[in-house]
Each structure stands twice: as structure tokens, then as C-alpha cells.
Structure 1
Amino acid sequence: MTSLRILTLSIATLGLTACASMAPDYERPQAPVLNQWPAGTADQASTEVTPAYQMDWRGYFPDARLQSVIAQALANNRDLRIAALNIEAARAQYRIQRADRFPEITGNASQTVARTPGDLSSSGEPVISRRYEVGLGAAWEVDFFGRIKSLQDQALENYLATEEARRATQVSLVAEVANAWLTLAADRALLDLAQRTFDAQTKSLELTQKSFDLGAASGLDLSQLKTTTARARADLAAQQAQVIKDRNALNLLVGNPVDAMLLPASLADVSLPVAELPAGVPSEVLVRRPDVLQAERQLRAANASIGAARAAFFPTISLTGNYGTASASLDGLFESGSRAWSFVPSIRLPIFNAGALRASLDVAEIKKDINIATYERTIQTAFSEVADALADRATINERVAAVSELVDASRKTFTLSDARYKNGIDSFLTQLDAQRTLYSAEQELIAVRLVEASNKVTLYKVMGGGWQPLKEMTDTAR
């Protein structure tokens, strides 16, 4: 076994001296955005408040029914399941690439039978020879210039990028489910408003029809009321269809039909999400968004691929060895003196390839430049999304208050107009106009309250959705 030990020690020694990566030193590009959010967009909250971007979705969305719906979506949504399977595929690909750094050891057993014609044999007679072999073989590429290590690093970064992609998919899914659930709540409120309006219009039409039959109401009043009743009926039918569509959309996101007990009756029935962004929080938090981290991981992978492209210019050193027994007869395989071994080192040096290696390096460097631009664009997009969400948040309270005042004023106007009409002071047209204004204002209030709730969901999403720093798997994975 002396020769085998020498071979093993030689391989181990070469392994310790190999794997010097030729990839460029990685430096994170400077974020091409301002360090702070636009003035006046951050909540003036205490810095002791847990910011929205650090909260888990269970803490951010306090409504227990919504929490249950989100949990079902995370368990059943097919997009998230596909993202998880992509992680498994990337992990397997990394393991394949990592295995190239170690010797490949195989067992082999063979029998060789050959017939030599008589005119080629020393005896002049045909000769049949046999050879039996049993042994172990080892093959290994010595990674002196870090080609395999660079490919392994590239596979690792791609694997980590798929993990970030899954987290980004989860954040988007949570936000989409929350928005769909809140939209259903708003549309149910609109449906209730449409139903109440239609019922009131129908009752008024019945009373006006009786008055008309008695000659106490004009044909114009009756005709106008029939018009508004028909409009209310159409609105009711459209809103009924919209609520059904909302439920279908929610069921698709969740992956299963959602229990009716988990559905909100209206926005007034909902515990709204939390949304705090204390003053002074820098825009650097964006580098922790899953999609930004994914872009950076892809940039790191492109950086590693440059090392592999550079190493391809240098010699490839391979070691192949076999150790076992060989004999001309099967029963002599394991007898004394049947030991056989071979050791075949080889060097492959590229001499001429019509510029293919240079072109491969150029491609790797260009892809890195593309990934740098992609990373910077991802951060710019993230900054713009957060700035837009904060701009809406800075004015949403004022909008809700203004529309609430509009509803109060419209309701008062309608009450006075209705009283004046019944007392014969104003025409039915004035009362009808006031009723339309109130109906429109109530619809607008529901819409703006949905915008308020959706803005909080958007803030959760664009800030990274309760990010938690991804555990550093690099060292352990290597």
C-alpha cells in the first residue's frame, strides 16, 4: 500500500496549494440614490417605534382573519411553491459544481479476452489471451488557477440569489393577498351602499308612483326617479359581480377556497395594517430588500465567472490513478504478486483557439457590467417605489379627512333638500341632485379609505416586507 499512500499524499498536497481564485475582488457598487427620503415623507414617530421594514408580516397585519388567509397562501400558493423548487434545483446545481473540487473515485472490474492470429504469434498458432483486473481508480483536476473554485462560487451565488428570489416572491404574495382581502372588504362596503341606495330608490319610486296615480306628483318627477332607480339597479348588479370576482382573485392567490368566516364584511370591519417609518431612517435599508439582494448575488456570480474565464487561459492539470490486482486467470486475481497500479498525470495547455478564450473573458466582463447596471437600476426602482408610497402616506390622512367632511356636508345637504322638497319649497330635481352627490361622496370615501389601507400594504412591500438578514450560508456551504 506504499504506492497508494504516496499517491494520496501527493494529491492532498496539491489540493492544499491549489484553488487560488483569479476572480476580481468584489466591491459593492455605490447606491445611485439619495441617502435620505424626500423631505416630509417620513413619519415623525419616535425612533423607538419598530419600523415597518423590520416587522414580520404577522406583526404588521394585526387582523387575525387576514393572518390566517396569508398563512394559507404561503402554504398553498403555486408561485411560491415554484420559487421553493427553484431553490432546490439551484442547491443541487451548486452541489454538482462543488463536487468537481474533489477526486472522483470509482471501483472497476474487467475481463479482457483477445485472439492473436497465428501469423502474428511467435508460435505460429492462434493465441487467445485473457486478463482480469479489479481495482480502484481516481481522477482529479488540480485547481491551481482557481477555475473550479470560481465556478463553485458562481453556483453558490446563483443558489443564494434564488433564495432571495423566493423571499421576494413571498413578500409580493403577502402584499397581494392583503390587497386582495382589503379590496374585497371595500367592494363589499360598496355593495352594501349600492343595495341601500337601490332599496331607498325603489321605496321612493313606489311612493312617487302612488302620488302620480293620485295626481299629486308630476310625470317628470316619476320619470327622473325611474332613471335613478334603474341606475342604482345597474350599480348593484355590477357591484355584485365585482365582489364575486374579488373572491375568485383571492382564492387564486391563496391556492384554495377561503372560508367565508375569514372574509371581511367591510373596511370598517378591518384592523388596518401598521405603518411606521421613523424620521432619520436612511435609504440604505433598501440594500436589504430581497430583490436588491438577489441582484447583488447575481452580480457576485458574474464576478466569479470572470475568474473562471481568466483561469481558462492557463494549463489544466489532471491526475489519474488506478490501484488493484491483475492476473491472466480469474483465480489468480488475489494471489501474491498480482498487485497492479498506474499513475498518469497530464497537462493541457491552450495554444490556439481562434480567440475563443479571449471572447469568453470579454463575455464574462460584459455580463458583469450588465449586472452592475441591473443592480443599480433595482435600487433606483426600489427608492422610487418607497418615495411614491411615502408621498401618498404623507397626504392620505388629509385626503380621508377631506372626503369625510364632504360626506358629512353632502348628507346634511340631502337632508335639507329632502325636507324642502317634501314641504314644497324645492323641486324634486334639487333633492335628486343632492342624493346623487351624497351617493358619489360615500363611494369616494370608501375608495380613499381603501387607498389608505393599500398604501400601508404597499409600504410593507416596497420596504422589503419585514426583512430579516439572510443567514450567511457562504462559509458553511463552501
Structure 2
Amino acid sequence: MYKAQIQLSTHRLTQIAVSVGLSLLLTSCAMGPDYQRPALELPTQFDSELVQDSNNNVGLSKWKAFYLDPNLQVLISHALAQNLDLEAVRSRLIAARSKVTVTDAALYPVLGLDAGAERSIDSGITSSNPDHGNEFTLEGTVSWELDIWGANRRRSEAEYAHFLSAQDALNLAVISLISDVASRYYEWIDIEQRYQISLNTVELRQKERDLARLRKQNGVISGLQVRQAEVEYQSAKVTLPDLDFERQEKANQLKILLGEFDYPLEIKTEAELKAQSQLFPNSFSVGIPSQMLSQRPDVKAAEQALIAVNANVGVAKTAFFPSFTIKGSYGTETDDLSSIFDSQGVTWSLLGGITAPIFNAGSISAQYQIAQQESKQAQLSYRSTVLRAYFEVNNAMNSFRRSELAIDAQQELVVASKEYTRLATLRYRNGVSSSLDLMDAQRSLFSAQLTLSQVKRDRLLSMITLYRSVGGGVLTQQELLDVHQTSAETQASPASMIETGSE
């Protein structure tokens, strides 16, 4: 490094330092390309029959305006406060915000204070008259790397993009957690309902088996019909163990999301679910494809990653140019502590340095090429993320449409199966038809009822998937950081969580 020590009056020296620093900063420019969002030829509409309105986009609504079930709202609020994985992602966001401060600090001078005291004695061998000596120093220091080529500004730009990406990652985790809690909740309810349907069917078929045994004793039917009744009874009974395991498994999955070993879960009966006014909004529309860029956290995170690597191209380019540093100190030096502030003991220094690359075996050029290729990779990743997001929304919309058609057809099948069973029962009791007809009707009804429960579940899950795919449930930056504290304070009162939990 080439160094030049300047010896001028303090006042004149200050004027020169300030003038040079300001001139260099005002005339400097940031190396590398300024970020521009890649041009994307998005379709104007999704390929679906659902209403698409940019002004009434369900993805812009808060999660409490979409998930209307009060019990589910309590569970979601609790999960936002207690989920362990979400807390880890939130911690990374806080750390990313602090990294921005660390990086931005390089744009400013570093000020310090040095104070020292030394007491020494000369060697009796090298000195004929060894004596004690004292030295006290007190000085302020300053060092500053001038950002002539904009390297620090590009680093700051990249780090801020990483912070926004961490914020989007947290929002993505929040959306995923909300949808996972809702999905596991309705899956659990579905299994509980199918378990109850199976229990009711087992009880009914047990009665029919007992009745068949009695009729055989009276010589009304043969042993074959008793065996048929026994088979139907056991066929229904064999479904219970698997359903019992599944309901426990879903409950455990839900408790993991809630972050607790033993959270009290209360199942709703089918009558209670029917009595509830609504689980989701009666009507809604989705936005247009271009709104995905500002709604979906994964798309926004991919763009922030692109911004960061674009800034790193500028940082890599500045390595070809020299760097400029300024260091200075001002203080006092004395051999008596009582005169530490005496003007006669004032000392100061100002150093200017230039460091320029001469030979590095192609390392700087290679780093610049790496940065350019990483920028290209980030552009491809961004385009791929947008493409996947578009078709995820398309698939979610089509799945929702299919579930609506399926539930209507299945409900009609259940109604028809109930009527078929009613007529078959009357014919069997009047001796018009055999028990085989009755058992066939009962099997059809049992299967239709189980399938209807699953179809209802699929419709709920399609609603959840659609809301998630359009980026629904995004929180603001402050909500992301405060949701844990807010929810924890209201955790003691489930009712208050519904009213005041973060949206």
C-alpha cells in the first residue's frame, strides 16, 4: 500500500479531509447493472371458469376473513404463537434485519477511543543510570474506506434484499402453517365423522345379525342368510381399527403444528357442523395472473434473491479498481496523568491509503464471472417460480371446481341410497325380497356415506389450497414480528384469541 503522511495545521487538515471525502462520494457511482425486473409474458387470465377480478381478490383478504370457523381461528392463532418451526423462521428474519445494520455500517466512518498507561524502567545493563518512566495516552481515532465504486452500497442493497427475502420466507411459513392447521383440522373432523358412521353401521348390522339368528331359530330363514348377516357385520366392524388409528394420527399431527404435547381438541358433531352458519365466505373471486408477483411470498422471495445476486455483480466488478482509505487520530500524550488534557501534549495524525490489484492469477475475473452466472441462475429460478406459481393457481381453481361438482353428485347418491335401503327393508320385512337385496342396499348406503364425508373434506381442502395458492394470509412486517407476543398474551383466554389474535 502506498501511504502519504500529511503534516498541516489541524483546521486546514480538517477542511481538506471533508472536502476530499465529499467530492469523492458525490462523484462516485455504483458499479454493476441496476436491477430491472425480467419481462414476463404472463397470461391475462387463469384457465378456469371461476370469477377472476383484480379488485375482489380473495388472496388479499386476511386469514380471519377467509377461515370463519371460530374453533379453527383459535387453533390458527395458537399455532402462530407456539409453532416451533415458525419461531425458528421468525428468528432468522430478526437476524437478517440485524445483518442489514451490520452491512450498512461500512458506509460510515468508524470512530474509536484509545486510552493507555505505561510505566517502565530502563535496563541496568544497557543504561548506566536506569530510571522509571511513565507514559499516558488518550486519543480519538477514525477510519473510513471511501465507497468510490459503490461496493458497500451494492453490499447494502444485496443484504437488504436478503432481509426482504427472509420476510417473504416467514410469510410463506405463516401461509403454510395456517393452511396446514386448517387442512389437518378438517381431515381430523372427516375421520371422526367416518368413524362415527362406521360405529352406527356396526351397531345396526349387529342388530340385524341378532335378528337373523332369531329368525333362523324360528325356521324362517336358512343358515346361509345368518352367515351373510355375520359377514356384513364383520365387514363394517373391520373398518374401525384403521379409522381409530387415523383419527389419533391426525390429532397428533395437529398437536405438532400447535406446538404442544397435549392440546384439548373438541370434535364437532355433524349436526353442529350443519348448524354453523358458514366455514368460508359465500362468494369470492381470484385475482389475475399479474397479481401473483406481489401476492405470493415464494415469487417475491425469488425476486429478492435475484436483486441480491444482481447487486453482487456490482460488488465483484469493484474488485478490479483500487480502494481508498483514510485513517486519523487526535489526542494527547504525557508522562504525568494530571496533565493529560494539557494543550502542549496534543498529538494527531492523518493517513491516506490506496490499495490496487496488480496480479491475482485471474481470481478477480473468475469471481466476476461467477457473480454473472449466479445472476443468470437467479433469473432462471425466478422465471421457473413464476411459471410453477401460475399453474399451481390453475390447478387449485380446477380442483375447487371439480370438488363442487363431485359433492353435488355424491349428495344425490346418498339420497338415492337411503331411499333404496328404505324400500329394500320394507320388501325384506314383507317377504317380497331376500336378505341379499337388503344387504346390497345397506352396503351401497354405507359406502356412499363414507365417500360423501371424504368428498366434503376434499371440497374444504380445495378451498384451503386455492387460498394458499393465491398467497392468501400474508402478514405485514410488523405483524410478522409481533404475532408471537400478541398471541402469547391472549393465549390464556381462547375467546380473546378469536377477537384479538393477529391476522
- List per-residue Cα deviations over 1:349-386 (Å, max 9, x = no partner): 01111111111111111111111111111111111111
Q: 1:63 aligns with which of 64, 69, 87?
A: 69
Is the Cα contact below 8 Å between 1:190 and 1:443 reproduced in 2? yes
- Contact residue 114 and residue 128 of structure 1 kept, 8 A: yes
1:311-340 alpha-carbon deviations (Å, 9 max, x no partner): 111111111101001124444433231110
**Aligned residue among 92, 95, 104 for 2:101:** 95
Does 2:291 match 1:291?
no
Query: Does the Cα contact within 8 Å between 2:400 and 2:462 map onto a contact in 1?
Result: yes
Counterpart code for 2:58: A
Asked whether the 8 Å contact 1:41–1:393 carries over to 2, the reply is: no
**Residues 19 and 246 from structure 1, CA distance in 2 versus in 1: closer, same or farther, beyond 3 angstroms?**
farther
Please give the per-residue CA displacement for 1:51-100, whole angstroms capped at 9, x wherever unaligned: 21111101011111111111111111112111110011111111111111
Counterpart in 2 of 1:35? 44
- In the superposition, relative to structure 1, how do residues 125 and 352 fare at CA in structure 2: closer, same or farther (>3 Å)? farther
Counterpart Cα distance in 1 of 2:34 and 2:134: 57
Show the counterpart of 1:145: 149
Q: State how far apart, in whole Å, the 1-side matches of 2:101 and 2:95 are.
A: 10
Aligned equivalent of 2:329, options 304, 313, 322:
322
Aligned residue number for residue 397 of structure 1: 404
- Kept after mapping to 1: 8 A contact 2:79/2:259: yes
Map Cα deviations across residues 435-472 of structure 1 (whole Å, 9 max, x no partner). Answer: 1111111111111111111111111100001447879x
Between the aligned partners of 2:153 and 2:54, the Cα distance in structure 1 is 45
Question: CA–CA distance in 2 between the matches of 1:7 and 1:211?
Answer: 115
Q: What is the identity, as a one-letter code, of the residue corresponding to 1:64?
A: P
1:190 aligns with 2:199: no
1:23 corresponds in structure 2 to 32
2:25·2:146 contact (CA, 8 Å) conserved in 1? no
Q: Return the letter of the residue paired with 1:434.
A: A
Alignment of 1:243-322 (within 5 A): 243-256=247-260, 257-261=262-266, 263-266=267-270, 268=274, 271-274=278-281, 276=283, 278=285, 281-288=287-294, 289-322=296-329
How far apart in 2 are the matches of 1:11 and 1:323? 19
One-letter amino acid matched to 1:63: D
Q: 1:260 to 1:269 in 2, by over 3 A?
A: farther
Q: Which runs of 5+ in 1 are unaligned?
A: 472-478
User: Paired residue for 1:476?
Assistant: none
Alignment match, 1:78: 84
Structure 2 counterpart of 1:2 = 11
Q: How does 1:129-208 map to 2 (within 5 A)?
A: 131-208=135-212
In 2, Cα distance between equivalents of 1:323 and 1:370: 49
Is the 2:216–2:226 Cα contact (8 Å) retained in structure 1? Answer: yes
1:367 to 340, 352, 374: 374
Q: Which residue of 1 aligns with 2:495?
A: none
Quote how far apart the aligned CAs of 1:6 are. 3.5
TM superposition score normalised by structure 1: 0.90
**Quick one: percent identity of the two aligned structures?**
27
SS of the counterpart of 1:92?
helix
Q: Secondary structure at the match of 1:100?
A: helix
Please tell me whether the aligned partners of residues 42 and 290 of structure 2 are also in contact (alpha carbons under 8 angstroms). Answer: no
Deviation at 1:131, TM superposition (A): 3.8
1:299 CA drift (Å): 0.7
Structure 1 stretch 239-248 or stretch 384-393: which is displaced more? 239-248
Q: Which amino acid aligns with 1:179?
A: S
Q: Does 1:237 align with 2:245?
A: no
- 3-state DSSP class of the match of 1:110? strand
Equivalent position of 2:444 in the other structure: 437
Task: Point out the more displaced range, 137-146 or 112-121.
Answer: 112-121
How far 1:242 moved relative to its partner? 1.9
Q: What is the alpha-carbon distance in structure 2 between the residues aligned to residue 144 and residue 275 of structure 1?
A: 59
Give how far 1:34 is off: 2.3
Q: Distance in 2 between matches of 1:355 and 1:264?
A: 69
Residue matched to 2:497: none
1:428 to 430, 435, 453: 435
The answer to whether the aligner puts 1:338 opposite 2:345 as a matched pair is: yes
- Which ranges in structure 2 are unaligned for 5 or more consecutive residues? 1-9, 479-503
How far 1:171 moved relative to its partner?
0.8
- Superposed CA RMSD in Å reads 2.6
Bigger drift between 65-74 and 225-234 goes to: 225-234
> Scaled by the length of structure 2, what TM-score is found?
0.86
Moved more, 247-256 or 76-85: 247-256
Listed one character per residue, the Cα deviations across residues 171-222 of structure 1 (whole Å, up to 9, x for unaligned) are 1111111111111221121112111101101111111122222332221111
Displacement of 1:155 after TM fit? 0.7
* Match of residue 474 from structure 1: none
- Aligned partners of 1:78 and 1:103: how far apart in 2? 40
CA distance in 2, matches of 1:164, 1:458: 19
